[in-house]
Structure 1
Amino acid sequence: MKSDLHKVLHPIAGRPMLLHLAASVAALDPARTVVVTGAGRDQVEAAVSPLGIATALQAEQLGTGHAVAQAEAALAGFDGDVLILYGDVPLVSSQTMRAMLDRLNAEDAPVAVVLGFRPTDAGAYGRIIAEDGVIAKMVEFKDATPAERAVDLCNSGLMAVRSADLFALLARVGNDNAAGEYYLPDIVMLAAADGRRSAVIETGATEVAGVNSRGELAGVEAAWQQQRRAQAMADGATLIAPETVWFAHDTVIGRDVVIEPNVVFGPGVTVGDGALLHAFSHIEGALIGAKAEVGPFARLRPGAVMGEKSKIGNFVEIKKAVLGAGAKASHLTYLGDAEVGAGANIGAGTITCNYDGFFKYKTIIGEGAFIGSNSALVAPVTIGAGAIVGAGSVITADVEADALALVRPQQVSKPGWAKRFRDAMTAKKAGK
């Protein structure tokens, strides 16, 4: 990855790859989850420890079989099914994981279940030779014959194995191969030598796509986004140009939501039924109510809450601000650390001045209030319900309900002054 950030912590849809996988695993309610770490372990441990996930260190990278063996101590006393996954293969679904476990516990009781796939280009993947779902042989590409390399069923590396079998078989794995490594798939052939069968189930290549470069990261992101867009439309949202909309891992979209081109969601967004999101809006950490309207060119930052039928228009930014039902800020406005009552109207160019260089302060705007254009509300300040703030005002004190607040000098008009000024300056410029 050529990065200071550990590979498995690079994000897909705003969430580290490893945590995508952890979330899918958590849906199975596992007894224990263990992450095997190596280089960059501090970063990985910091990411998973808040989730109650244990870690095991692989001090030397001696192959996949060696890596799995490092989890033996962490699984001491565990008697059940073990699912083996890879932190840089983040898109494996809970459903596929469950299918692997179900196959492991089928009547014929295979020793191991391997997840296979058939890529467009099998390349250097390990191959699986199987008949009717029963594995006859597994071989790494480096050790495969030309005939075996011609097989297109490939090994994703993911497995389900009973704990009673797993570590006993791993203890027998050797490293007499082209790479001098201890290969996890060798446990399948060791079991076969004992007269015990293993099985393969298949999934699509996209689900088991791995990430080893920035380019592959972008490819997996694109695949995730494509699937999420399709799901949003299947659930009743309209995406005018689906390929231009970018979701986060936890975006929640209601029914009859319309999303115009080039809308980007950061984490933590929920959009209510019937909302309209105009083009080129960026939304993160926000709650958008039913039938609300956003954008175009709007930015909703964390803590933004829009009530039913409220409106945030073009070039409006809100942060940690609540808009009541039907309230609107139609253009060119910043609302930070604010509470705006139902039906209030915020004029163009309004700013809540919420920061003095050291602390943040709150602005409260009452129901039905009208804030004239180009006004600055210097927090902490409260504008009462139904009050009107005249355009161009700088409000530094509370305004009572239903009052008019004007903070601007009296207009002075000097007839003919502009013409006399232009004539004088024109003469001066001409050197007269």
Structure 2
Amino acid sequence: MNGELPVVVVGAGPVGLAAAAELRERGLEPLVLERGPAAGTAVAQWHHVRLFSPWPELVAPAAVRLLEPTGWRPPDPTYPTGREWAERYLRPLAAALGEQVRFGAEVVGVARRGRDRVVDAGRETEPLTVHVRRSGGGEERITARALIDASGTSGTPNPLGGDGLPALGERAATGRITYQVPDLTDSAVRDRYAGRHVVVAGSGHSALTALVAFAGLAENDPATRVSWVLRRGTVGDAFGGGAADQLPARGALGARAREAVATGAIRVVTGFRTRAVESGSDGRLTLAPDAGDRIEDVDEVVVLTGFRPDLSWLSELRLELDATLQAPVALAPLIDPNVHSCGTVYPHGVRELSHPEPGVFLAGMKSYGRAPTFLALTGYEQVRSIAAALAGDRAAAERVELVLPETGVCGGAGVFDEPSQDGGFCGTPAGAEPISLSAPH
């Protein structure tokens, strides 16, 4: 009976839609639940950012096979923006899947039917119940044979606070703090930052993207001041692998950020772990660290310190997650940013992504927990393997073959003075030069 039920996929982003295409190709019934109003809602948040990967690395093979009969053709091998990725690929793919994708459907909980996580009996035989809240009001429960959580991490950015929790006063200052790369091509957004003192916090590719953009803003408006705040004790390898990066656009981004710092357009503050955000009577902010000098007269803060998975609605399922990365325990050693770059991550699939809870998988960026620098290619291979396993083709599921481009650098944010990377999205504002971003969920 369970075999007749749908496989629920959470999230209509690149990996979720790829999962649906893989399931459908294998004769399984996918049901994609997306809380946003359209495919690629999370991608639309960084519509102005150009990706590090060219089109051939951003489309899933099963998705192409589903789309081509509709007359769709893969775009030329250029570097698309987030907007182009959504409009030219994700939304046509969702349309091809038709009623197998539901929008305005937020998953708020998943459990084994009639059992909380404490009950042993029936976990191998009873289906899952997926609790859904509809955007128009009302709730429903969907019975499913399996769950693929490809909801990503973009909705849960890491805070400014240096201990992983919001700094004192951080929530109260949200009017002057943003947690994504600003679109400085938008005149209203540009006016918000021009001529101001802007602090950029973070050392991953997203932070480099913002630094390059703000350096350009400061060149046109010299009254603009930019302070770059790093938790680590040195800049180290934050600029990336340069020529060693097999994604040339990503290497070029680091080179441009290095140049901006070298020219003096950006003030660098290392070893700064924010304890408090204080608001002055004039509305400006002061950032106070655990130790050392304060950063005063701050107008705007751009926090780009990575993302983390939202596990709250999975609390009734038996997940086995690494205590440090919050990634599946079998996957965590393969993606530890203190050891691996995304180019040295061992190819992995259903074996590494399985949990004690039967038929439940975290895929895409969410499977990486707090590890940074996830590529779309990785997610596509993950869901290909998962779909094969759910269809009973164990040989195909375990035959994981994937070659990823070497980054030249990667690292974690948990070390104070060693080279590291806060992680998360990475990219550059869209423009004539294709300098961009590794794919999110």
Please report the TM-score for the alignment, with normalisation by the length of structure 1: 0.22
RCO higher in structure (CA 8 A, sep ≥6)? 2
Q: Which has the higher strand share?
A: 1
Q: Which has the higher helix share?
A: 2
Please report the TM-score for the alignment, with normalisation by the length of structure 2: 0.21
Higher radius of gyration, 1 or 2: 1
